[in-house]
Amino acid sequence: MNYERFLIENGILPIERNWNHFRINHVKPVDEVAKNQVRGYIENNVANHNGLYIYKNNKGEILYIGKGKPLKNRLYSHFLESFQPVKGDTKDQRWHPFFLKHQGEHDVYWIELETEKDRQIIEKMLEYVLNPLFAKPPPPPPHVLPLMDHPLKPSLVKKENKKQNPTDY
């Protein structure tokens, strides 16, 4: 499937024309008042909307594509990650080093998408088409056998009893 064509035909691309936009400076604030001002600025721009967002730097490079429910919380978290570790960062703590490395003024594009399934699907398509600098790790391999056009024999289906050896089938 041609994801780019699908995204264009459905008004997702180009982001510069079809998405909401604001600029944000990812640097350590001088004090708590300045930090709260940034939080308010983000809230004023995205309110309580759920959706997708894209970070773009001054060179025009796509830094990151993500989803949020609500957007304001994810965007504020990324702002904080540009100068400090944040509780809730993934187990491998990848966001803080990434946003620390990419401090500075960024364009944030966002679009409202209410359903989680829509956000997940469009996010993956955008990652494929736009190739952001922050590469998310591939998902772990599925623990179910792929669908086939013929029924499986019971002897080929993995048993789900956790006490058994994982290689038992």
Strand, coil or helix: what is 8?
helix
- Across the strands, what pairs with 74? none
Q: What domains appear along the chain, each with residue ranges and CATH number? A: 3-130 (3.40.1440.10)
Q: Which of 78, 65, 48, 86 is nearest to 13 (CA)?
A: 65
pLDDT in tens, 71-119: 999 999 999 999 998 887 665 678 889 999 999 999 999 999 999 999 9
| pTM score of the predicted model | 0.78
The predicted-structure confidence for 21-58, as pLDDT tens digits, reads as follows 999 999 999 999 999 999 999 999 999 999 999 999 99
* Residue 168 pLDDT: 47
